[in-house]
Amino acid sequence: ALPPPEPFALALRVPYEDAYFWMIDKPAPLPSSSSYKKEGPTLENALYAYAGCPEGFVYRPVNRLDKGTSGLMLAARTAHAQHLLQRLLHGSEFIREYLAVVEGAPPQTEGVIDLPIGKADGATIRREVRADGKPARTYYRVLETLGGRSLLRLRLDTGRTHQIRVHLSALGCPVAGDFLYGTELDSLPGRFALHSALVRLRHPVTGEWIERESPLPSELSVLLRRE
């Protein structure tokens, strides 16, 4: 058996939990999962501590967020619940909406970015729009434009790695502070202006609809006020 994670006491915001899963409001920059390569706090450690360091704890993320992305994500309590939730992930019964502050503005106030995404040649994590990539669709709506930046609300139709970041960069308005697909910002150390703002899902066991929202963090909303 794997050793238990190191507990990490972090004041986690958990907007919803039951016997099947937790819905966590992940801060950024915080890695979702522990790994042998990275030492230090992760959401995995923090959830282990939050749950009371139970014996036999296994971290079962349902939808992962990049280290630099904040907001709502799910972790299942059991392998069965994880399986049921992951089956819902890219259908109409699991809706995820994001807020992003981007540089500039998209060409239209709302639309769909329908561009295939694949791994960039020779890269380990970097993705790019490419003809031989997997289909990827992102819906967006501009909420406001101020001081050379825009606030967008986005909904994923597919869940490719770095999908929103790659799509917005391809549109010519990269996520503010995105060190991989745009330009790093000193005011956002280790993170960028992407936030998982809403999760709405049909509970795979009880059938009830559950919806939670997370407001845009202050360090991101302030980006819209700077001239």
The set of catalytic residues is 66
| Residue 218 tokens, joined | 């202050």
Query: What SS3 state is found at 167?
Result: helix
Element housing 149 (H / E): strand 149-156
Using the Cα atoms of residue 213, residue 217, residue 222 and residue 224 in order, give the sign of their dihedral.
negative
Bridge-based pairing of strands 70-76 and 60-61 is antiparallel
Identify whether the C-beta of residue 20 lies closer than 8 Å to the C-beta of residue 76.
Answer: yes
How many CA atoms within 13 Å lie on the side-chain side of 133? Answer: 24
Residues whose CB falls within 8 Å of the CB of residue 125, separated by 6 or more in sequence, listed in order: 161, 162, 180
